[in-house]
């Protein structure tokens, strides 16, 4: 069987499974999710053995310490995967929700009802827990899932998927891994428009751009997280310090961490020396404009380049720029930002509303850290990713964003004249 035939068979099987999943009741789905969770914990020895194979190969392959940590499974992480599935089981079923209802003058009653999307492809890097998280969320929304993880986690991902499938006694094809690390398989899979409905890539900008460029099915994108905090002239500077430090150093390697700090010129001389000292204490490398450099009196800080303002560092590196006012801050964000998450710190309600309305990002905050852009923090229970698209899902994607809808008409013999 050729690779093309293998991929077509995989996609076709997933389509057939999606029809069966769409018929499951909420109680049946929840029981399956709980069975999956129990099986992951009961089968931890087999999961750890599979992960040990991946870890050994990764060490020999020279993966970085950070990548090795993302790849590693232990009892705590397996327990977290299981608990994640239990949390999904406890969430309201998104399928069957009535989104709109109306009755026309001729008596025709119409309902807009949430339905499963169908077959969802998830392409991700490194972390094996994504297999359980993504498959669990897609399953609760009634979708079949085809997963393509990084080659470094192949054994771990396969063990997790097999454990979940067997425990829940799901239709063949409900949760499947692409059985090859051949990159051509992704291109072939994303050309199966007859069977695949949606692709969600989770990973770095390079992965997402590569997927988008080759896909013939819709792709929900999140290229990068170039997030900003703007400290306005009427900010509570103590609050601003807390928000800035949290947004940058609480967990700098994630997409909702701040990459550029913008400070209103009216408070820059007071705020910048204090906040830059705190950032240096946390070993944050600063890249600044010349006005900021003069205000902080630092020769250590590098000069920020045009490219820096577009960069998602995912590291202890921060751009700082002094701006004339909120208008200039908004213009900077809309030009250099990635439409992910941006915040203003101010006590001026009018200026805050201007920022919230004019900043063109998926999530905007008034007096809060950008680090809150997360499905769990939004009360979604879990997320499949964060979208910076404008059509379809935007921001953290939970169960509701993994559904589509159909219109249902209830008539009594109406005909159109």
Query: For position 230, what pLDDT does the model report?
Result: 98
The span from the CA of 154 to the CA of 138, in Å, is 20
- Which residues in 66-101 are b (16+ Cβ under 10 Å) and which e? ebeebbbbeeebbeebbebbeebbebebbbeeeeee
Taking the C-alpha atoms of 169, 173, 174 and 177 in order, what is their torsion angle to the nearest 10 degrees?
110
The token duo for 151 is: 């080659």
The token duo for 77 is: 């992480």
Say which residues have a Cβ less than 8 Å from residue 68's Cβ, sequence separation at least 6.
Answer: 55, 58, 59
User: How much is the pTM?
Assistant: 0.87
The span from the CA of 388 to the CA of 264, in Å, is 27
Query: For position 207, what pLDDT does the model report?
Result: 85
**CATH for the 227-374 domain, from 3.40.309.10, 3.40.50.1370, 1.25.40.80, 3.40.50.10800:** 3.40.309.10
Say which residues have a Cβ less than 8 Å from residue 349's Cβ, sequence separation at least 6.
Answer: none
Q: Start-end ranges of CATH 3.40.309.10 in the chain?
A: 227-374
Q: Start-end ranges of CATH 3.40.605.10 in the chain?
A: 3-223
- DSSP of 145-161, one letter per residue? EEEE--GGGHHHHHHHH
Query: For position 110, what pLDDT does the model report?
Result: 98
What's the full length of the chain, in residues? 417
- For 124, counting Cβ atoms within 10 Å of its Cβ (0-12 exposed, 13-18 middle, 19+ buried), the class is buried
pLDDT along the chain (417 residues), means of 10: 94 97 97 97 97 95 84 94 93 96 97 98 88 94 95 94 94 93 93 96 85 93 92 98 97 92 98 96 96 86 95 94 98 97 98 98 97 88 83 89 96 95
Please tell me the class of the 3-223 domain.
alpha beta
């Amino acid at each position: 069987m050729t690779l093309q035939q293998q991929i077509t068979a995989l996609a076709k099987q997933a389509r057939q499974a999606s029809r069966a999943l769409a018929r499951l009741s909420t109680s049946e789905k929840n029981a399956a999710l709980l069975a999956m969770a129990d099986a992951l914990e009961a089968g931890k020895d087999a999961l750890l053995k599979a992960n040990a194979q991946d870890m050994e190969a990764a060490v020999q392959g020279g993966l970085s310490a950070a990548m090795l940590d993302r790849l590693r499974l232990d009892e705590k992480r397996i327990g977290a995967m299981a608990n994640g599935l239990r949390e999904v089981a406890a969430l309201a079923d998104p399928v069957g929700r009535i989104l709109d209802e109306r009755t026309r003058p001729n008596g025709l009653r119409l309902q807009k009802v949430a339905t499963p999307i169908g077959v969802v492809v998830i392409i991700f890097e490194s972390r094996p827990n994504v297999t359980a998280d993504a498959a669990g969320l897609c399953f609760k929304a009634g979708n079949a899932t085809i997963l393509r993880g990084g080659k470094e986690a192949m054994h771990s991902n396969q063990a997790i998927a097999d454990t979940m499938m067997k425990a829940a006694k799901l239709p063949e094809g409900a949760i499947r891994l692409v059985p090859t690390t051949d990159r051509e398989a992704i291109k072939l899979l994303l050309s199966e428009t007859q069977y695949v409905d949606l692709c969600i890539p989770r990973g770095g900008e390079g992965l997402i751009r590569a997927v988008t460029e080759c896909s013939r099915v819709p792709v929900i994108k999140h290229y990068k997280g170039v997030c900003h905090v703007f400290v306005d002239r009427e900010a509570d500077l103590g609050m601003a310090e807390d928000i800035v430090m949290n947004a940058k150093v609480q967990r700098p390697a994630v997409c909702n961490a701040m990459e550029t700090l913008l400070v209103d010129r009216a408070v820059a001389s007071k705020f910048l020396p204090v906040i830059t000292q705190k950032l240096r204490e946390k070993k944050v490398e600063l890249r600044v404009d010349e006005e900021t450099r003069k205000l902080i009196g630092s020769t250590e800080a590098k000069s920020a380049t045009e490219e820096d303002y577009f960069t998602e560092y995912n590291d202890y590196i921060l751009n700082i720029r002094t701006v004339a006012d909120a208008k200039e801050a908004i213009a900077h964000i809309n030009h250099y930002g990635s439409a992910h998450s941006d915040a203003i710190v101010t006590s001026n309600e009018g200026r805050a509303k201007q920022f919230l309305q004019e900043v063109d990002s998926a999530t905007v905050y008034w007096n809060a850290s950008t680090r809150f852009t997360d499905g769990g923090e939004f009360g979604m229970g879990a997320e499949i990713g964060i979208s910076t698209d404008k059509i379809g899902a935007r921001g953290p994607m939970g169960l509701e964003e993994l559904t589509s809808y159909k219109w249902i008409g209830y008539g009594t013999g109406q005909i159109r004249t």
